[in-house]
Amino acid sequence: MIERIYPNDTPKPRGPYSPAVRAGDFIYVSGQGPINPETNEFSYGDIQHETRVTLNNVKRILEAAGASLSDVVKCAVFLRDGRDFDQMNVVYAEFFGDTRPARTTVEAKFANPLMKVEIDCVAYKPAS
């Protein structure tokens, strides 16, 4: 079973992709950035602000798929500036606490040069 997930209260995709796809017991969340879901506009700020907005978007998408952050098994974090790692990590720890999914963090160049962070993830949540 493959299900494409388009939650109402999350940013609308800016391209031809699904915000999330459930494939069996796995949920794949597309890369999310600091976009305000109410306005569908970027919410720029320091790295902690952008990380918080981004992870709230990830959380909403997971909830729409019947999962939570505690079901996440793998994250990929992309930073415009690797020097933001420590401050991003403070907010990341607030969201994931002791669940600590596997993670990769890399410095990347974004199509939107003002954006500081993008995060995608994979969650495991057996379908009901």
pLDDT, one tens digit per residue, over 45-104 is 999 999 999 999 999 999 999 999 999 999 999 999 999 999 999 999 999 999 999 999
Element (H, E) at 28: strand 26-32
The pLDDT value recorded for residue 127 is 78
pLDDT, one tens digit per residue, over 89-125 is 999 999 999 999 999 999 999 999 999 999 999 999 9
Q: pTM (2 decimals)?
A: 0.96
Q: 59 φ, ψ to 5°?
A: -60, -45
* Burial of 8 per CB tally in 10 Å (0-12, 13-18, 19+): exposed
- Inter-residue contact 42 to 112 (CB < 8 Å): yes
Give the least confident one: 8-17, 27-36, 54-63. 8-17
